Chains A and B, each alone.
Chain A
Amino acid sequence: MGMTYAQKLLAKACGRTQAAVGDVLEPPVSLAMSHENGALVINQFDEIFQGTGREAKAWDPERIALIFDHRVPAESAKTATNQKKIREFVAKQGIRKFHDVRGDVGGVCHQILPENGYVRPGYVVVGTDSHTTSHGALGAFSFGIGATEMASVWTLGRILNVEVPGTIKVVVDGQFPEGVYPKDLILYLIGQVTSEGANFKVFEFHGAAIRAMSTSGRLVLCNMSVEAGATSGLVPPDEETRRYLKEEAGVREPLDCFGPDPDAVYDQTITIDASRLEPQIACPHTVDNVKPISAVAGKKVQQIVIGSCTNGRLDDLEIAARILKGRRVDDGTRLLVFPASWRIYREAMKSGALADLAAAGAVICNPGCGPCLGVHQGALGDKEVALATTNRNFKGRMGNPNAEVYLCSPAVAAASAITGAITDPRTLTVPQGAR
């Protein structure tokens, strides 16, 4: 019987010819990523070795990545001490895929992995971060796990209890209209599937609109697949995957690219015509509470955030800069910009996007997770409303349970920054040069 991309990938990883949905496998791990919660992984890892008389040595330091992004630079003594503990572990284990608080190689884990070529098609990737689903954009079976699970991976080099998932095939045809982006597509899909509709399943993305989409856009789709409960979002690798890995990530080695079988069996097929989409907004306090922008346009917002592992890439910043250039952030709101990595930060500096954003009144912050999960900068005040290009709008998410978060594309965020209210970028009437 034909296999889906996930079935085929997992079978291959385990050296089998078949993998049926529901089979429980223990695939070897190609890459194991953690961020600051690596401090907890180290604690659990040491506990596994306690009393065994064996040295606590990770199975393969070349397959472990540690990236500081959640609180950079450290906001508290506690975080700084956790980061110090991780640095010591990195040195002791000889881990080279380590990205410290640095302006050359630093950034958010889900950008650092792709841009450094750490992820390849066919890989099994695990990360102690739920948005590890992102890396399916490069054809990896990639998913989030807890810290104790990661300690087990560091010990054994394989991940236990992986059920071969059923697959929801998502076929996206047509061309995106002006002002509509991959973020609008994934919000629309989550609204249709609901927040738990894909629990224990994966999305496999197909169709002309996906083939024409950049890796940056595909990362948005796979990043947010977890918001429908999906274990992973997957884009079977194609010419764009090869181009990105070669040209942007500097990968020289040959790639193992394959697709699903033509007679693969899917749990469900969802067909979307991209040309009929309009900008989408996820309203408080669940990501599946998605409405077309017309339903919420005019809602006043006090903070706007552009950035994160979802929408902090160069194309996102440039879309926002084009809209904001020569205009002015409304006095009733504040605009925070968090590029997804320092490479992107420098590229956006070179292209002029950062200068245009700052001249309009944006605060350019350092790459990191920032306000997305309310641990560092950009907390909200009581009863404030935020509009963000990030991935979650749960109660309390941006540091305050008495505030609201709406989610949108970078274009909607930029247009709304000018008016101070949720605004459809296609209807923005404030002329450029009005500042």
Chain B
Amino acid sequence: MAKGKVVLALGDDISTDIIYPGRFMATVLPKETPQFAFVDNAEFNRRLKAKEIPAGSVIAAGKNFGCGSSREQAVSCLKGYDLAVVAKGIARIFLQSAINLGLNIVICPEVEAAAGDELEIAGGQVRNLTSGKSFAITPLPKARQAIIDAGGLIPYTRGLLLARR
């Protein structure tokens, strides 16, 4: 299935203030937010904007990724580059917003991945092709699959709306 290189390896408690700092919150539209993704990490932000990072590349993180503010810009800015997030844990609001916007997120409590490692996400496992180790994926909270299958919450809600008389 999905294969990608780790382009950023992060620790625990990466807040939405780090992913998308509050001072850029007046920018709200998903097509405009990617320019500020990880903006305080100047080199990573430059590489994103210069299109040096291919779609499907992976951000590996520790526990509680996306904690803090509910700002959806922190999700849409990553979705704009089609990045995937493989984290040991993901905070509740970020997790739901990622499902709603179709950002590829994987919860993998034991994952070991360093920058530059090649990861393969398939069959309920994250395989680190560089180290040769495999790690089990925690399934997403139940009842979310319908939203993912519909292509996100907007088409899903539109479907519910149209099903109404």
Residues of A with Cβ closer than 8 Å to B?
Answer: 24, 36-37, 39-40, 43-44, 47-52, 54, 70-71, 76, 78-79, 82, 128-130, 144-149, 151-152, 155-156, 160-161, 163, 195-196, 199-200, 229, 231, 286, 373-375, 379, 392, 394-397, 399, 401
Contacts and interface: CB of A to CB of B under 8 A. Distances in A.
Interface in B10-64: 13, 15, 17-18, 21-23, 25-29, 40, 63-64
Nearest to B65: A196
B128 interface: no
B141 interface: yes
Contact of B154 (A76, A82, A151, A375): A151
B2 to A, nearest CB: 23
A151 B96 CA distance: 14
Given A145-B96, A229-B67, 13 more contacts: A37-B25, A39-B28, A51-B158, A128-B70, A145-B97, A146-B70, A152-B156, A155-B157, A160-B153, A195-B67, A199-B92, A392-B15, A399-B23
Contacts of A373: 17, 22, 25, 69
Given A79-B26, A163-B141, A394 B96 contact: no
Given A24-B142, A195-B64, A375 B26 contact: yes
A200 B92 contact: yes
Given A130-B69, A396-B21, A78 B26 contact: yes
21 contacts: A43-B29, A48-B154, A48-B158, A82-B26, A129-B70, A147-B72, A148-B154, A149-B97, A151-B153, A152-B154, A160-B153, A161-B144, A286-B13, A373-B17, A373-B69, A375-B25, A392-B69, A394-B17, A395-B15, A395-B40, A396-B21
A146 B67 contact: no
A86 to B, nearest CB: 11
Nearest to A71: B26
B119 to A, nearest CB: 23
B93 interface: yes
Given A394-B18, A396-B40, A149 B100 contact: yes
Nearest to B40: A401
B21 A374 contact: yes
A160 B100 CA distance: 11
Nearest to A397: B17
A145 B93 contact: yes
Nearest to A152: B157
Contacts of B18: 394-396
Given A195-B64, A196-B91, A392-B17, A146 B28 contact: no
